[in-house]
């Protein structure tokens, strides 16, 4: 009596096919899980970083700020004024120190008869009956120029004598630093 | 000749034969389409949302900062500082403040004021000298000698509104001094969400410096605030406008 084998023999070709099916099935399942998990993760992250919550906080603060609108407008004006004031204080030329420094050099016996400041140019006119006093004044002012650095480019404009009164007049010009 | 026919039976036969492959491949194709059409755009959208949230957070921080600045300053000190700064740098030409400043400086320096002349210029235009801020030039005649004139200039530099000497001509006892008084208009265009600048140490130093100057302690009533700040009711008496 011949026997019949009911079990299918696993040939190498069949094993290869089964393996291919398994690999494709595995790829599809992994891919499916990847897409599903990525989508869920992105959805959760996206819902968590919604700007709506931040906007609600903003609205609450804006409501509070609106109640202080007048105060805010005043504060803005204050800041605007301070910017302008600082700008002026920083850049405005103050001639008083220079003029005081120059006048402090005028010795006794020498009178200041004229002083003018225009576009950072200062002109000082003095007169005296003595040339020695004039000389003392010039020496002092040259010393001031080198020490205090308040003026530069100093030139003697005129040195005249009034024969009627016998007084000497000296005019110097310099640039204010 | 073989005729290729895809009737129902053939399709069922083909399906049964390749069933295992078809389902897997279909899943892969669908997932791929989902990845391209949904997941990747979602990632791009996420970065846009992140940027949006960052922008909104910055705005929120700015608003919180505004609120904290406003809460930290009292109404009284704000009014006082505003009055001081508008005296120093008025919103428009403040003739009363200027004349007050000149008078106080003359009294303190012991000189006598002679003629004075406002060089208002073209009223339809704003005069801008040097520092890109509008200004009003005043030519003053002062009797008091060289020292008196210099004292007067020193006092003027410590007076409000802020002034700058543009020209000085001193001859014996008579001096002609050209002074520039600054002012600065204000448009008040900021809204509640505009970020507020904090008062810096330098600003505080400036405030304390000018508060000790002539006219700095409320001797001169500052000009009325611009309309954007005035909250007077419509029935209130209107403030007379400047003739200039």
Alpha carbon of residue B108 to chain centroid: 36
Write the DSSP assignment of A97-140 as a string of letters. HHHHHHHTT--TTEEEEEEEEETTEEEEEEEES-HHHHHHHHHH
User: Can you read off the two tokens belonging to residue B14?
Assistant: 């083909």
A86-90, B45-49, B234-238: range with lowest mean pLDDT = B234-238
**B150/B156 Cα distance (integer angstroms):** 10
Whether the predicted pLDDT of A30 surpasses 90: yes
| Residue B161 confidence (pLDDT) | 87
Q: Using CA atoms, how far apart are residues A56 and A46, in angstroms rounded to an integer?
A: 17
Test A115 with B146 for CB contact under 8 angstroms. yes
Sign (positive or negative) of CA dihedral B58, B59, B60, B61: positive
- Is residue B17 classed as helix, strand or coil in its secondary structure? helix
Query: CB count, 10 Å around CB of B16?
Result: 9
Q: Which chain B positions have a beta carbon within 8 Å of A79's beta carbon? A: 196-197, 199, 203
* Chain A residues within an 8 Å CB radius of B171: 113-114
Q: Which has more confidence, A29 or B172?
A: A29
Contact flag A76-B188 (C-beta cutoff 8 Å): yes
Least Cα separation, residue A173 to chain B (angstroms): 14
How many Cα atoms within 13 Å fall on the side-chain side of residue A177?
13
Q: Decide: B132 and B188 in contact? Cβ < 8 Å.
A: no
Q: Can you list the domains of chain A with their CATH numbers?
A: 50-91 (no CATH), 96-176 (3.30.1360.100)
Q: How confident is the model at residue B239 (pLDDT cuts 50, 70, 90)?
A: very low
Residue B105's nearest CA partner among B147, B148, B167, B168 is: B148
Looking up tokens 């020193």, which residue turns up?
A: B154
Cis ω on the peptide bond leading into residue B161 (within 30° of 0)? yes
Contact between chains at B150 and A46 (C-beta distance less than 8 A)? no
Looking at chain B, the whole-number percentage of residues with pLDDT higher than 70 is 77
Under DSSP, the state recorded for B180 is E
Q: What is the pLDDT of residues A31-77, one digit of tens each?
A: 999 999 998 898 888 888 888 888 899 999 988 888 888 888 889 89
Residues, chain A: 177
- pLDDT at residue B122 tops 60: no
Give A-chain residues touching B203 at CB under 8 angstroms.
79, 82, 86
Query: Residue A33: closest CA among chain B residues belongs to which residue?
Result: B31
- Structural element, H or E, at residue B135: strand B133-143
Asked if pLDDT for residue B125 goes beyond 90, the answer is no
Domain spans, chain B: 9-72, 76-184
Angle CA A84–A88–A90, to nearest 5:
115
> Does B49 contact A32 at a Cβ distance shorter than 8 Å?
no
- 3-state class of A58 per DSSP? helix
d(CA B204, CA B37): 59
Beta-carbon contacts of A61 under 8 Å, excluding residues fewer than 6 positions away, are: B60, B63, B64, B66, B67
One of 3.30.1330.10, 3.90.209.20, 3.30.70.60, 1.10.460.10 is the CATH number of B76-184, namely 3.30.70.60
Enumerate residues 103 to 132 of chain A having a beta carbon within 8 A of any beta carbon in chain B. Answer: 103, 112-118
ipTM > 0.90? no
Instruction: Count the Cβ atoms, other than its own, within 10 Å of residue B26.
Output: 11
Phi, psi for A148 (deg, rounded to 5): -90, -15
Res B29: pLDDT: 92
pLDDT-wise least confident of B25-34, B136-145, B197-206: B136-145
CA angle B97, B185, B215 (to 5 degrees): 20
Cβ burial, residue B122 (10 Å; 0-12/13-18/19+): exposed
Rounded to the nearest angstrom, the minimum Cα separation between A115 and chain B is 5
According to DSSP H, which parts of B89-178 are helical?
95-109, 145-157
Locus of tokens 């600045």: B69
Contact status, residue A152 vs residue A175, Cβ threshold 8 Å: yes
Question: Which pTM was predicted?
Answer: 0.71
**pLDDT score, position B237:** 37
Q: Which of B42, B78, B162 sits opposite A78 (nearest CB)?
A: B78
Q: Do A75 and B196 touch (CB under 8 A)?
A: yes
């Amino acid at each position: 009596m011949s026997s019949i084998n009911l079990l299918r023999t696993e040939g190498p070709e069949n094993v290869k096919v089964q393996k291919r099916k398994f690999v494709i099935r595995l790829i599809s399942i992994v891919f499916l899980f990847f897409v599903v998990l990525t989508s869920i993760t992105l959805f959760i992250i996206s819902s968590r970083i919604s700007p709506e919550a931040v906007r609600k906080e903003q609205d609450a603060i804006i409501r509070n700020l609106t109640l202080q609108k007048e105060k805010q407008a005043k504060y803005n004006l204050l800041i605007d004024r301070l910017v302008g004031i600082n700008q002026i204080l920083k850049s405005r030329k103050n001639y008083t120190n220079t003029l005081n420094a120059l006048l402090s050099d005028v010795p006794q016996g020498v009178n200041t008869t004229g002083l003018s400041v225009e576009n950072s140019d200062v002109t000082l006119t003095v007169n005296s009956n003595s040339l020695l006093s004039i000389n003392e004044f010039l020496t002092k002012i040259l010393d001031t120029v080198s020490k205090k650095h308040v003026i530069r480019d100093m030139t003697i404009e005129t040195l005249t004598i009034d024969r009627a009164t016998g007084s000497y007049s000296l005019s110097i010009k310099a640039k204010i630093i | 000749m073989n005729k290729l026919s895809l009737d129902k039976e053939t399709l069922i036969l083909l399906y049964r034969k390749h069933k295992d492959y078809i389902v897997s491949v279909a899943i892969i194709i669908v997932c791929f389409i989902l990845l391209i059409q949904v997941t990747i755009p979602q990632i791009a959208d996420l970065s846009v949302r992140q940027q949006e949230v960052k922008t909104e957070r910055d705005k929120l921080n700015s608003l919180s900062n505004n609120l904290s600045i406003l809460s930290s300053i009292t109404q009284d000190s704000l009014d006082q500082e505003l009055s001081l700064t508008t005296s120093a740098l008025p919103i428009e030409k403040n003739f009363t403040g200027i004349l007050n400043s000149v008078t106080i400086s003359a009294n303190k320096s012991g000189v006598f004021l002679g003629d004075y002349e406002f060089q208002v210029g073209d009223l339809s235009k704003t005069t801008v000298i040097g520092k890109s801020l509008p200004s009003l030039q005043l030519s003053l005649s002062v009797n008091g000698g060289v020292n008196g004139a210099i004292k007067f200039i020193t006092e003027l530099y410590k007076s409000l509104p802020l002034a700058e000497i543009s020209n000085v001509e001193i001859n014996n006892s008579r001096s002609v001094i050209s002074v520039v008084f600054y002012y600065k208009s204000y448009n008040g265009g900021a809204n509640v969400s505009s970020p507020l600048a904090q008062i810096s140490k330098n600003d505080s130093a400036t405030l304390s410096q000018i508060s000790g100057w002539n006219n700095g302690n409320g001797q001169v009533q500052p000009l009325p605030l611009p309309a954007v700040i005035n909250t007077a009711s419509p029935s209130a008496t209107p403030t007379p406008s400047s003739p200039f």
